[in-house]
Structure 1
Amino acid sequence: MIEIHNIHKSFNGVQVLKGIDGVFETGKTTLLLGASGTGKSVLLQCIVGLVKPDLGSITYDGKVFTNNRLDLKQEIRRKIGMLFQGSALFDSMNVQENVEFPLKMLTPDMTKEERLDRVEFCLKRVGLEAAHKKMPSELSGGMKKRVGIARAIAPNCTYLFCDEPNSGLDPLTSIKIDELIYEITKEYNITTIIVTHDMNSVIEIGDHIMFLHNGLKLWEGTKDNIMDTNVKELNDFIFANSLMRAAKRIEEEGGDIDKL
């Protein structure tokens, strides 16, 4: 479980986060939802430790992360897996070497054989057991995301952070990536936080959702009640799409949404 309290962050006098509180439960996917520029990625970076908040506290399973000793922060960071928006694979390394990289950095006591066994396991888990020797330039967008997920979970992460995991993917591949992240979260009991603006992801895997607007948390709930709120900014975001507006209208009229 990760807990954040009263997180503030400003850049060059512009306040980006304005006192965000939240609890991210183990074994659940929490989606940070909102339009571009609302502070989602900055909040994620604060939680991970890439950006230091101006004010507030962050704890990982009861261990204080903010303003703590470097060695204690590093202990927590070893348990973090990160899936970057652009996958961020090393172009000069093949798939196997990319997935093995964090094991070399974070688990120096592992032998080469143990590392390769773990790489094999992770690639098989994401459906890429035959892609070991491929270079990133030979992979599709969806395959790159899968390699990114395999690399993130390779060190047996306890916490998984995903920044726009569906960015640049077609709708079918996006659904498959969502399902994979959701399955891994449940299977390994990981605390997963996902930055997104994709309503398909919300409907598919939104165990818990936090909606951010202008640096404030305006709403939180689940995929089951997000369609029935009185928060204008959230409704404007959700129903900007004509299909979502039609779904809402049919639901209010007691019709069958599946007929859309």
Structure 2
Amino acid sequence: MIEIHNVQKSFNGNQVLKGITCTFETGKCNLLLGGSGTGKSVLLQCIVGLMQPDIGSITYDGSVFTNNKVQIRQEIRRKIGMLFQGSALFDSMTVYENTEFPLKMLTPEMTKEERRDRVEFCLKRVGLENAGNKMPAEISGGMKKRVGIARAIAPNCTYLFCDEPNSGLDPLTSLKIDELIHEITHEYNITTAIITHDMNSVVEIGDHIIFLHKGQKLWDGNKEEILNAQVPELKEFIFSSSLVRAAKKVDDESEGGLSAITDSTNSQSAGS
């Protein structure tokens, strides 16, 4: 569990985060939802230590991360896996070498054979057991995301952070990436935090959703509750899509709106 309390961050007098307090729950996909410029990425960077909050605290399973000793912060960082928006693979490394990279950096005590076993396990888990010798330029965008996931979980991460994991992917591939992240989160009881503005991801994997607007947390809940949320800014955000508006109408009539979004999206993907 990751607990964020009253986190504030400003740049040149512009307050980007205005006292964010929330919890990322263990064994769940915790979605940071909101439009562009709402503070999602800044909050994520504060949580993982790439930025220092001006005010507030961040705690990982009871261990205070902000303003703590360097050794304690490093120990926490070793438990963090990152899936970057553009996958951020090393172009000069194979799929196997990209996945092995964090093991070489973070677990020097592992033998070459132990690293090989771990890499092969992670690649198989994401369905890329036969792609280890390929270069990033030789694989699709969806496969690159899978390599990014394999690399993130290779060091047996406790906390997984994903920045727009569906960015640049077609709807069907996005669905598969969502499913993979959700499966891994539940299978290994990871605390997963996902930055997104994609309502399809909300519907598919929104175990816990935190909605940010202009640097403030305005709502949190789950995917079953979000369509009936009574926060004007959230309603404007989610019902900006005609697909979601149609699903809401179905939900009002038959309590099947969430399924309708997924079914409609899958149908569109199959026909494209």
TM-score, normalised to structure 2, is 0.93
Letter in 2 for 1:144: K
In structure 1, C-alpha distance between the alignment counterparts of 2:254 and 2:167, rounded to whole Å = 34
Q: Distance in 2 between matches of 1:220 and 1:68?
A: 28
Inter-partner Cα distance in structure 1 for 2:31 and 2:37: 16
What letter is aligned with 1:70? V
Name the amino acid aligned to 2:105. Answer: M
The residue number in structure 2 matching 1:229 is: 229
Question: 1:144/1:244 Cα in 2 relative to 1: closer, same or farther (>3 Å)?
Answer: same
Q: Deviations over 1:120-178 (max 9, x none)?
A: 00000000000011001011000000000000000000000000000000000000000
Matched with 1:51 is 51
- For structure 2, the 5+ residue unaligned runs are 265-272
Q: Deviations over 1:177-213 (max 9, x none)?
A: 0000000000100000000000000011000000000
**Matches of 2:49 and 2:165 in 1, distance apart?**
19
Identify the structure with the greater helix proportion.
2
Find the aligned partners of 2:256 and 2:206 in 1 and give their Cα distance: 22
Q: So what's the TM-score if we normalise by structure 1? A: 0.98
By how many angstroms is 1:253 displaced?
A: 3.8
In the other structure, the counterpart of 1:13 is 13
Q: Does 1:177 pair with 2:177?
A: yes
Secondary structure of 1:161's counterpart equals strand
Runs of 4+ in 1 over 6 A off after TM superposition: none
Q: Which residue of 1 aligns with 2:268?
A: none
- Equivalent residue number for residue 210 of structure 2: 210
Instruction: Specify the alignment match of 1:87 in structure 2.
Output: 87
* Number of residue equivalences: 260
SS state at 2:226 partner:
coil
Secondary structure at 2:181 match in 1: helix
Q: Deviations over 1:97-128 (max 9, x none)?
A: 10000000000000111101100000000000
Matches within 5 A, 1:1-260: 1-254=1-254, 257=257, 258=260
Tell me: CA distance 1:61–1:246, structure 2 relative to 1, closer, same or farther (3 Å).
same
CA distance in 2, matches of 1:177, 1:6: 32
Matched residue of 2:68: which SS?
A: coil
Alpha-carbon distance in 2 for matches of 1:6, 1:202? 25
Root mean square deviation, CA, Å: 1.2
Give the secondary-structure state (helix, strand or coil) at the position aligned to 2:227. Answer: coil
Structure 1: unaligned runs, 5 residues or longer: none
Residue 83 of structure 1 deviates from its aligned partner by 0.2
- Return closer, same or farther for 1:256/1:182 CA change in 2, 3 Å cut-off: closer
